Protein backbone atom coordinates (compact mmCIF):
# COMPACT_ATOMS: atom_id res chain seq x y z
CA UNK A 1 0.00 0.00 0.00
CA UNK A 2 3.05 2.24 -0.21
CA UNK A 3 1.86 3.85 -3.48
CA UNK A 4 -1.34 4.89 -1.67
CA UNK A 5 0.19 6.12 1.60
CA UNK A 6 3.02 8.12 0.08
CA UNK A 7 0.84 10.30 -2.22
CA UNK A 8 -1.46 11.06 0.69
CA UNK A 9 1.47 12.04 2.93
CA UNK A 10 2.97 14.18 0.19
CA UNK A 11 -0.28 16.04 -0.08
CA UNK A 12 -1.31 16.31 3.61
CA UNK A 13 2.03 16.91 5.37
CA UNK A 14 2.98 20.05 3.48
CA UNK A 15 -0.48 21.41 4.10
CA UNK A 16 -0.23 20.72 7.87
CA UNK A 17 3.26 22.16 8.26
CA UNK A 18 2.49 25.33 6.34
CA UNK A 19 -0.78 25.87 8.22
CA UNK A 20 1.04 25.64 11.60
CA UNK A 21 4.18 27.74 11.01
CA UNK A 22 3.43 29.80 7.96
CA UNK A 23 -0.30 30.45 7.95
CA UNK A 24 0.15 33.13 5.30
CA UNK A 25 1.20 30.41 2.85
CA UNK A 26 -1.95 28.34 3.30
CA UNK A 27 -3.43 29.35 -0.08
CA UNK A 28 -0.27 28.51 -2.05
CA UNK A 29 -0.11 25.23 -0.11
CA UNK A 30 -3.65 24.33 -1.20
CA UNK A 31 -2.79 25.11 -4.82
CA UNK A 32 0.35 23.01 -4.53
CA UNK A 33 -1.66 20.12 -3.06
CA UNK A 34 -4.14 20.28 -5.93
CA UNK A 35 -1.22 20.09 -8.32
CA UNK A 36 0.18 17.04 -6.48
CA UNK A 37 -3.23 15.38 -6.53
CA UNK A 38 -3.46 15.83 -10.28
CA UNK A 39 -0.05 14.20 -10.63
CA UNK A 40 -0.79 11.27 -8.31
CA UNK A 41 -4.31 10.30 -9.43
CA UNK A 42 -4.68 7.87 -12.34
CA UNK A 43 -8.15 6.96 -13.62
CA UNK A 44 -8.03 3.74 -15.65
CA UNK A 45 -10.87 3.25 -18.14
CA UNK A 46 -12.65 -0.11 -18.67
CA UNK A 47 -10.86 -2.56 -20.98
CA UNK A 48 -7.63 -0.74 -20.21
CA UNK A 49 -4.69 -1.25 -17.83
CA UNK A 50 -1.62 0.83 -16.94
CA UNK A 51 1.81 -0.38 -15.97
CA UNK A 52 3.63 1.67 -13.33
CA UNK A 53 7.37 2.33 -13.41
CA UNK A 54 9.28 3.51 -10.35
CA UNK A 55 12.45 5.28 -11.46
CA UNK A 56 11.89 3.77 -14.97
CA UNK A 57 11.68 0.23 -13.64
CA UNK A 58 8.53 -1.89 -13.81
CA UNK A 59 6.70 -1.89 -10.49
CA UNK A 60 3.02 -2.87 -10.75
CA UNK A 61 -0.21 -2.75 -12.82
CA UNK A 62 -3.15 -0.39 -12.40
CA UNK A 63 -6.56 -1.75 -13.39
CA UNK A 64 -9.91 -0.15 -14.09
CA UNK A 65 -10.81 2.23 -11.24
CA UNK A 66 -9.38 5.20 -9.34
CA UNK A 67 -5.64 4.66 -8.66
CA UNK A 68 -2.76 6.58 -7.12
CA UNK A 69 0.89 6.78 -7.98
CA UNK A 70 3.82 8.57 -6.36
CA UNK A 71 4.01 11.82 -8.29
CA UNK A 72 7.25 12.67 -10.06
CA UNK A 73 8.88 9.36 -9.05
CA UNK A 74 6.40 7.05 -10.83
CA UNK A 75 5.23 7.03 -14.46
CA UNK A 76 2.66 4.89 -16.32
CA UNK A 77 2.18 3.20 -19.68
CA UNK A 78 -1.23 2.27 -21.02
CA UNK A 79 -2.27 -1.02 -22.63
CA UNK A 80 -5.73 -1.74 -24.10
CA UNK A 81 -7.49 -5.09 -23.58
CA UNK A 82 -10.18 -4.87 -26.25
CA UNK A 83 -9.89 -6.70 -29.56
CA UNK A 84 -7.92 -5.02 -32.33
CA UNK A 85 -8.71 -5.43 -36.00
CA UNK A 86 -5.72 -5.38 -38.36
CA UNK A 87 -5.72 -5.80 -42.16
CA UNK A 88 -2.74 -7.41 -43.89
CA UNK A 89 -2.12 -7.54 -47.66
CA UNK A 90 0.43 -9.93 -49.15
CA UNK A 91 1.47 -10.47 -52.76
CA UNK A 92 3.84 -13.16 -54.03
CA UNK A 93 4.36 -15.39 -57.07
CA UNK A 94 2.94 -18.89 -57.40
CA UNK A 95 4.81 -21.96 -58.62
CA UNK A 96 3.89 -21.09 -62.23
CA UNK A 97 5.12 -17.47 -61.89
CA UNK A 98 1.73 -15.78 -61.51
CA UNK A 99 1.43 -12.97 -58.97
CA UNK A 100 -1.19 -13.70 -56.30
CA UNK A 101 -2.69 -11.05 -54.01
CA UNK A 102 -4.13 -12.17 -50.67
CA UNK A 103 -6.00 -9.94 -48.22
CA UNK A 104 -6.34 -11.10 -44.61
CA UNK A 105 -8.04 -9.72 -41.53
CA UNK A 106 -6.39 -10.42 -38.15
CA UNK A 107 -8.18 -9.93 -34.82
CA UNK A 108 -5.99 -10.05 -31.72
CA UNK A 109 -6.00 -8.77 -28.12
CA UNK A 110 -4.21 -8.78 -24.74
CA UNK A 111 -5.83 -10.97 -22.12
CA UNK A 112 -5.49 -9.89 -18.50
CA UNK A 113 -4.34 -13.08 -16.79
CA UNK A 114 -4.10 -11.28 -13.41
CA UNK A 115 -0.40 -12.02 -13.35
CA UNK A 116 1.44 -8.82 -12.44
CA UNK A 117 4.88 -10.41 -12.66
CA UNK A 118 7.20 -10.23 -15.64
CA UNK A 119 5.74 -13.55 -16.84
CA UNK A 120 2.29 -12.07 -17.17
CA UNK A 121 0.72 -11.24 -20.52
CA UNK A 122 0.37 -7.51 -19.78
CA UNK A 123 4.05 -7.10 -18.93
CA UNK A 124 5.10 -8.99 -22.09
CA UNK A 125 2.79 -6.97 -24.35
CA UNK A 126 4.19 -3.66 -23.02
CA UNK A 127 7.89 -4.40 -22.56
CA UNK A 128 8.75 -7.25 -24.92
CA UNK A 129 7.56 -5.64 -28.15
CA UNK A 130 7.06 -2.03 -29.18
CA UNK A 131 5.28 -2.55 -32.53
CA UNK A 132 3.13 -5.66 -32.63
CA UNK A 133 1.60 -4.77 -36.01
CA UNK A 134 4.94 -4.91 -37.77
CA UNK A 135 5.59 -8.28 -36.12
CA UNK A 136 2.18 -9.61 -37.22
CA UNK A 137 2.66 -8.42 -40.79
CA UNK A 138 6.17 -9.85 -41.08
CA UNK A 139 5.04 -13.21 -39.66
CA UNK A 140 2.13 -13.42 -42.10
CA UNK A 141 4.35 -12.33 -45.00
CA UNK A 142 6.88 -15.01 -44.22
CA UNK A 143 4.35 -17.82 -43.84
CA UNK A 144 2.17 -16.82 -46.78
CA UNK A 145 5.02 -16.45 -49.23
CA UNK A 146 6.34 -19.87 -48.22
CA UNK A 147 2.87 -21.33 -48.91
CA UNK A 148 2.01 -19.45 -52.12
CA UNK A 149 5.16 -20.58 -53.90
CA UNK A 150 4.03 -24.22 -53.51
CA UNK A 151 0.67 -23.61 -55.29
CA UNK A 152 -0.09 -22.90 -58.93
CA UNK A 153 -2.44 -20.06 -59.79
CA UNK A 154 -5.49 -22.34 -60.05
CA UNK A 155 -4.90 -23.93 -56.64
CA UNK A 156 -4.67 -20.62 -54.77
CA UNK A 157 -8.45 -20.04 -54.92
CA UNK A 158 -9.20 -23.44 -53.43
CA UNK A 159 -6.71 -23.04 -50.57
CA UNK A 160 -8.39 -20.17 -48.69
CA UNK A 161 -9.30 -22.29 -45.67
CA UNK A 162 -5.95 -24.06 -45.64
CA UNK A 163 -4.09 -20.75 -45.82
CA UNK A 164 -6.12 -19.30 -42.95
CA UNK A 165 -5.60 -22.34 -40.71
CA UNK A 166 -1.85 -22.55 -41.32
CA UNK A 167 -1.32 -18.82 -40.71
CA UNK A 168 -3.45 -19.01 -37.57
CA UNK A 169 -1.27 -21.75 -36.03
CA UNK A 170 1.99 -19.91 -36.72
CA UNK A 171 0.71 -16.47 -35.69
CA UNK A 172 -0.96 -17.72 -32.50
CA UNK A 173 2.33 -19.19 -31.31
CA UNK A 174 4.23 -16.02 -32.20
CA UNK A 175 1.76 -13.67 -30.52
CA UNK A 176 1.62 -15.69 -27.31
CA UNK A 177 5.33 -15.15 -26.74
CA UNK A 178 4.62 -11.40 -26.61
CA UNK A 179 1.56 -11.59 -24.37
CA UNK A 180 -1.02 -11.32 -27.16
CA UNK A 181 -3.79 -13.73 -28.06
CA UNK A 182 -5.12 -14.39 -31.54
CA UNK A 183 -8.89 -14.25 -31.85
CA UNK A 184 -9.27 -15.19 -35.54
CA UNK A 185 -7.95 -14.79 -39.08
CA UNK A 186 -10.20 -14.33 -42.10
CA UNK A 187 -8.97 -14.56 -45.68
CA UNK A 188 -10.98 -11.67 -47.12
CA UNK A 189 -10.05 -12.02 -50.77
CA UNK A 190 -7.72 -13.81 -53.17
CA UNK A 191 -6.89 -12.36 -56.58
CA UNK A 192 -4.38 -12.96 -59.34
CA UNK A 193 -2.67 -10.59 -61.72
CA UNK A 194 -5.21 -8.62 -63.81
CA UNK A 195 -4.09 -10.12 -67.13
CA UNK A 196 -4.35 -13.65 -65.73
CA UNK A 197 -7.80 -12.94 -64.29
CA UNK A 198 -8.94 -11.64 -67.68
CA UNK A 199 -7.63 -14.76 -69.42
CA UNK A 200 -9.30 -17.03 -66.84
CA UNK A 201 -12.59 -15.19 -67.28
CA UNK A 202 -12.37 -15.69 -71.05
CA UNK A 203 -11.72 -19.42 -70.55
CA UNK A 204 -14.73 -19.68 -68.23
CA UNK A 205 -16.84 -17.70 -70.70
CA UNK A 206 -15.84 -19.97 -73.61
CA UNK A 207 -16.61 -23.05 -71.53
CA UNK A 208 -20.03 -21.66 -70.67
CA UNK A 209 -20.71 -20.85 -74.34
CA UNK A 210 -19.62 -24.35 -75.31
CA UNK A 211 -21.88 -25.84 -72.67
CA UNK A 212 -24.77 -23.67 -73.85
CA UNK A 213 -24.17 -24.73 -77.47
CA UNK A 214 -24.11 -28.40 -76.43
CA UNK A 215 -27.35 -27.94 -74.51
CA UNK A 216 -28.95 -26.22 -77.50
CA UNK A 217 -27.76 -28.99 -79.83
CA UNK A 218 -29.16 -31.64 -77.49
CA UNK A 219 -32.45 -29.76 -77.33
CA UNK A 220 -32.64 -29.52 -81.13
CA UNK A 221 -31.78 -33.21 -81.42
CA UNK A 222 -34.54 -34.12 -79.01
CA UNK A 223 -36.99 -31.90 -80.91
CA UNK A 224 -36.03 -33.51 -84.23
CA UNK A 225 -36.49 -36.98 -82.77
CA UNK A 226 -39.83 -35.97 -81.31
CA UNK A 227 -40.94 -34.47 -84.63
CA UNK A 228 -39.86 -37.63 -86.49
CA UNK A 229 -41.72 -39.81 -84.00
CA UNK A 230 -44.81 -37.61 -84.30
CA UNK A 231 -44.62 -37.71 -88.12
CA UNK A 232 -44.22 -41.49 -88.02
CA UNK A 233 -47.24 -41.87 -85.75
CA UNK A 234 -49.30 -39.48 -87.88
CA UNK A 235 -48.43 -41.42 -91.06
CA UNK A 236 -49.27 -44.70 -89.37
CA UNK A 237 -52.62 -43.26 -88.32
CA UNK A 238 -53.15 -41.84 -91.82
CA UNK A 239 -52.46 -45.18 -93.53
CA UNK A 240 -54.57 -46.97 -90.97
CA UNK A 241 -57.39 -44.55 -91.72
CA UNK A 242 -56.95 -45.02 -95.47
CA UNK A 243 -56.87 -48.79 -95.06
CA UNK A 244 -60.01 -48.64 -92.98
CA UNK A 245 -61.62 -46.40 -95.57
CA UNK A 246 -60.78 -48.84 -98.37
CA UNK A 247 -62.10 -51.72 -96.32
CA UNK A 248 -65.37 -49.84 -95.75
CA UNK A 249 -65.59 -48.98 -99.46
CA UNK A 250 -64.97 -52.62 -100.39
CA UNK A 251 -67.57 -53.77 -97.87
CA UNK A 252 -70.07 -51.22 -99.22
CA UNK A 253 -69.43 -52.33 -102.83
CA UNK A 254 -69.85 -55.95 -101.87
CA UNK A 255 -73.10 -55.30 -100.04
CA UNK A 256 -74.35 -53.17 -102.96
CA UNK A 257 -73.44 -55.82 -105.56
CA UNK A 258 -75.14 -58.52 -103.51
CA UNK A 259 -78.23 -56.40 -103.11
CA UNK A 260 -78.48 -55.63 -106.88
CA UNK A 261 -77.88 -59.25 -107.84
CA UNK A 262 -80.74 -60.25 -105.54
CA UNK A 263 -83.09 -58.16 -107.73
CA UNK A 264 -81.84 -59.67 -111.02
CA UNK A 265 -79.97 -62.95 -111.13
CA UNK A 266 -78.92 -62.37 -114.73
CA UNK A 267 -76.55 -59.55 -113.76
CA UNK A 268 -72.97 -60.54 -113.12
CA UNK A 269 -70.69 -58.84 -110.55
CA UNK A 270 -68.60 -56.97 -113.16
CA UNK A 271 -71.61 -55.16 -114.65
CA UNK A 272 -73.00 -54.33 -111.20
CA UNK A 273 -69.62 -52.92 -110.08
CA UNK A 274 -69.32 -50.85 -113.27
CA UNK A 275 -72.79 -49.48 -112.63
CA UNK A 276 -71.87 -48.48 -109.06
CA UNK A 277 -68.65 -46.81 -110.18
CA UNK A 278 -70.46 -44.83 -112.85
CA UNK A 279 -73.05 -43.77 -110.28
CA UNK A 280 -70.27 -42.56 -108.00
CA UNK A 281 -68.70 -40.60 -110.87
CA UNK A 282 -71.99 -38.98 -111.74
CA UNK A 283 -72.51 -37.95 -108.12
CA UNK A 284 -68.98 -36.50 -108.00
CA UNK A 285 -69.55 -34.52 -111.20
CA UNK A 286 -72.73 -33.15 -109.70
CA UNK A 287 -70.92 -31.96 -106.64
CA UNK A 288 -68.26 -30.35 -108.84
CA UNK A 289 -70.96 -28.55 -110.85
CA UNK A 290 -72.48 -27.13 -107.64
CA UNK A 291 -69.11 -25.69 -106.57
CA UNK A 292 -67.81 -23.29 -109.24
CA UNK A 293 -64.30 -23.05 -107.70
CA UNK A 294 -63.64 -26.78 -107.99
CA UNK A 295 -61.55 -28.27 -110.79
CA UNK A 296 -61.54 -31.90 -111.87
CA UNK A 297 -58.32 -33.50 -113.12
CA UNK A 298 -58.06 -37.15 -114.27
CA UNK A 299 -54.60 -38.75 -113.87
CA UNK A 300 -53.32 -41.93 -115.55
CA UNK A 301 -56.72 -43.03 -116.74
CA UNK A 302 -57.85 -43.88 -120.26
CA UNK A 303 -60.97 -41.79 -120.62
CA UNK A 304 -61.02 -41.29 -124.45
CA UNK A 305 -64.35 -42.91 -125.05
CA UNK A 306 -65.84 -40.98 -122.15
CA UNK A 307 -64.27 -37.74 -123.39
CA UNK A 308 -65.86 -38.28 -126.78
CA UNK A 309 -69.23 -38.65 -125.12
CA UNK A 310 -68.55 -35.69 -122.87
CA UNK A 311 -67.91 -33.58 -125.98
CA UNK A 312 -71.34 -34.57 -127.13
CA UNK A 313 -72.63 -33.29 -123.72
CA UNK A 314 -74.27 -36.59 -122.99
CA UNK A 315 -74.04 -38.30 -119.59
CA UNK A 316 -73.86 -42.08 -119.26
CA UNK A 317 -76.67 -43.69 -117.39
CA UNK A 318 -76.51 -46.96 -115.55
CA UNK A 319 -79.11 -48.46 -117.86
CA UNK A 320 -76.85 -47.77 -120.88
CA UNK A 321 -74.02 -49.78 -119.34
CA UNK A 322 -76.19 -52.74 -118.56
Mean pLDDT within 213-232 = 81
Q: Cα 195 to chain center, whole Å?
A: 23
What are the strands of the beta sheet with 84-93, ordered from one edge?
84-93, 99-110, 180-192
Q: Report, in angstroms and rounded to the nearest whole number, the Rg of the chain calculated over CA atoms.
A: 55
pLDDT beyond 70 at 104: yes
- Cα 32 to Cα 10: distance, rounded to the nearest angstrom: 10
Burial class of residue 88 (count of CB atoms within 10 Å of its CB; 0-12, 13-18, 19+): buried
- Cα 244 to Cα 246: distance, rounded to the nearest angstrom: 5
Taken as a whole, the chain contains a residue count of 322
pLDDT band of 179, cuts 50, 70, 90: very high
pLDDT band of 156, cuts 50, 70, 90: confident
**What does the mean pLDDT of the chain come to?**
76
2-16 residue pLDDT tens: 555 556 666 666 666
30-74 residue pLDDT tens: 676 677 777 788 889 999 999 999 888 999 999 988 888 888 888
Amino acid sequence: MLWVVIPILLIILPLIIISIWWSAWILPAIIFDIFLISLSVRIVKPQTVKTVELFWKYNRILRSWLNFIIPIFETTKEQVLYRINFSVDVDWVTSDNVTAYIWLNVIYYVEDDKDDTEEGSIYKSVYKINDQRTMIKSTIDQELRAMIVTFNHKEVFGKREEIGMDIEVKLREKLSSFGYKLDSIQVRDVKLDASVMTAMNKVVESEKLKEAAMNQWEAEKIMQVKRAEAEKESKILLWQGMAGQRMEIARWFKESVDMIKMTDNTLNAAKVLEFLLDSSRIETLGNIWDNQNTKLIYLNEDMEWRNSRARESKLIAGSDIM
